[in-house]
């Protein structure tokens, strides 16, 4: 039977200091002979007591060292926490009739201006955000940070709680380092479709691993191949395993050596994504008899190499 093409939905569910050397000194008395080598050494009187040797000085007790000061907070971590808190405050206030500037205290450089900007952007509409996933990147130069994000948010109009939609929203923001820490100076949402470069790379890598695992599990067909659970989940895993079980029973091999260069991510949600691949067919693609290697054209018809 032919293997239907399925969309791939991968889950995607940051010194001890050297001890001071002990210092110590032992004082020894040295006799110095001054004069010509022929001059006799004077003798001490019989009644004179020999000089007493000085007691060696005890080395000073080992000095205890203070613990090294803790590392200064990482600027990217600080800006990351600030941005997450700011974005959360923004979507919470966007759902209210009267946003409160106090919600941005300690987050925005100018809370009042932030609320004015929020009101102007929403143009009277109120969206309630039920979930969010942020994918920010930061470019930090001394006391300034540029923030670019592609937020994945699930939201609905305030008066339509059953009309939840998941969308992606691009953001551009700046933060400055003040005497009280980092503060968001400007923030503005942009396009309604975006995908973070890091997320895009993760998804395409997962898709390539899926294709590799699928091909390995099909030649020969093995529904218990360990790479299946590592690269698939849910309905996709069930679908592939069912086909592999059927083809294992019937002695059928599916070979699909096509490259994955045309794969693109065209839909993302919170914890989910869909990858679309316009597969380029090659001569080695098809269904084959496991025992004889004969091509089974009734299952998968031959295709011209290079066809999409």
Q: What is the CATH number of the domain that holds 107?
A: 3.10.450.50
In a domain, 229, yes or no: yes
Look-up of token digits 């600030």: 82
Intervals of the chain under pLDDT 70: 1-73, 304-308
Residues of the domain holding 79: 75-189
Is residue 249 located within the same domain as residue 220? yes
Q: What is the pLDDT of residue 18?
A: 36
Domain boundary among 166, 189, 212: 189
Parallel, antiparallel or unpaired: strands 137-141 and 144-157: antiparallel
Cβ atoms within 10 Å of 240's Cβ, excluding its own: 22
Helix axes 234-250, 197-217, angle to 10 degrees: 20
Is residue 122 located within the same domain as residue 83? yes
Domain boundary among 165, 189, 213: 189
Is residue 182 located within the same domain as residue 204? no
And the tokens for 120?
A: 């102007």
Is residue 168 located within the same domain as residue 249? no
Q: What is the pLDDT of residue 300?
A: 87
In a domain, 22, yes or no: no
Domain boundary among 189, 208, 228: 189
| Domains held by the chain: number | 2
Q: What is the pLDDT of residue 56?
A: 55
In a domain, 31, yes or no: no
Is residue 178 located within the same domain as residue 206? no
Cβ atoms within 10 Å of 213's Cβ, excluding its own: 19
pLDDT digits over 49-94, tens only? 555 555 556 555 555 556 655 555 699 999 999 999 999 999 999 9
Query: How far apart are the C-alpha atoms of 184 and 136, rounded to whole Å?
Result: 14
Query: How far apart are the C-alpha atoms of 83 and 86, rounded to whole Å?
Result: 5
Q: What is the pLDDT of residue 21?
A: 29
Q: What is the pLDDT of residue 73?
A: 65
Query: How far apart are the C-alpha atoms of 237 and 239, rounded to whole Å?
Result: 5
Contact 84, 160 (CB under 8 A): no
End-to-end C-alpha distance for the chain, whole angstroms = 21
Is residue 165 located within the same domain as residue 221? no
What letter does residue 9 receive in the DSSP assignment? -
And the tokens for 111?
A: 């809370």
Q: What is the pLDDT of residue 302?
A: 79
Is residue 173 located within the same domain as residue 233? no
Query: How far apart are the C-alpha atoms of 148 and 139, rounded to whole Å?
Result: 9
In a domain, 295, yes or no: no
What are the CA-CA distances from residue 211 to residues 62, 214, 248 (Å)? 64, 5, 19
Nearest to 177 by CA among 61, 75, 54: 75
And the tokens for 130?
A: 């039920």
Q: Is the pTM for the entire model greater than 0.85?
A: no
Nearest to 210 by CA among 234, 227, 231: 231
């Amino acid at each position: 039977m032919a293997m239907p093409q399925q969309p791939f939905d991968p889950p995607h569910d940051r010194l001890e200091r050297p001890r001071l050397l002990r210092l110590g000194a032992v004082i020894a008395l040295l006799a110095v002979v001054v004069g010509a080598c022929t001059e006799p050494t004077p003798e001490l009187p019989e009644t004179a007591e020999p000089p007493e040797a000085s007691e060696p000085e005890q080395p000073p007790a080992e000095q205890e060292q203070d613990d090294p000061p803790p590392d200064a907070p990482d600027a990217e971590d600080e800006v990351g926490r600030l941005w997450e808190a700011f974005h959360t405050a923004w979507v919470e206030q966007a759902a209210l009739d009267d946003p409160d500037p106090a919600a941005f205290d300690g987050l925005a450089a100018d809370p009042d201006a932030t609320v004015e900007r929020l009101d102007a952007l929403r143009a009277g509409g109120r969206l309630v955000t039920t979930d969010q996933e942020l994918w920010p990147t930061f470019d930090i130069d001394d006391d300034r940070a540029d923030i670019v994000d592609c937020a994945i948010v699930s939201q609905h109009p305030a008066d339509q709680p059953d009309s939840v939609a998941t969308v992606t929203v691009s953001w551009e923001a700046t933060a400055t380092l003040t005497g009280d820490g980092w503060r968001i100076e400007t923030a503005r949402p942009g396009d309604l479709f975006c995908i973070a470069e890091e997320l895009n790379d993760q998804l395409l890598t997962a898709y390539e691993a899926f294709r590799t695992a699928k091909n390995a599990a099909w030649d020969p067909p093995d529904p218990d191949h360990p790479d299946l659970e590592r690269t698939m989940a849910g309905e996709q895993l069930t679908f592939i395993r069912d086909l592999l079980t059927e083809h294992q029973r019937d002695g059928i091999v599916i070979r699909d050596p096509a490259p994955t260069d045309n794969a693109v991510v065209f839909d993302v949600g919170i914890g989910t994504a869909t990858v679309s691949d316009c597969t380029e067919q090659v001569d080695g693609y098809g269904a084959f008899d496991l025992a004889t290697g004969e091509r089974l054209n009734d299952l998968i018809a031959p295709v011209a190499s290079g066809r999409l």
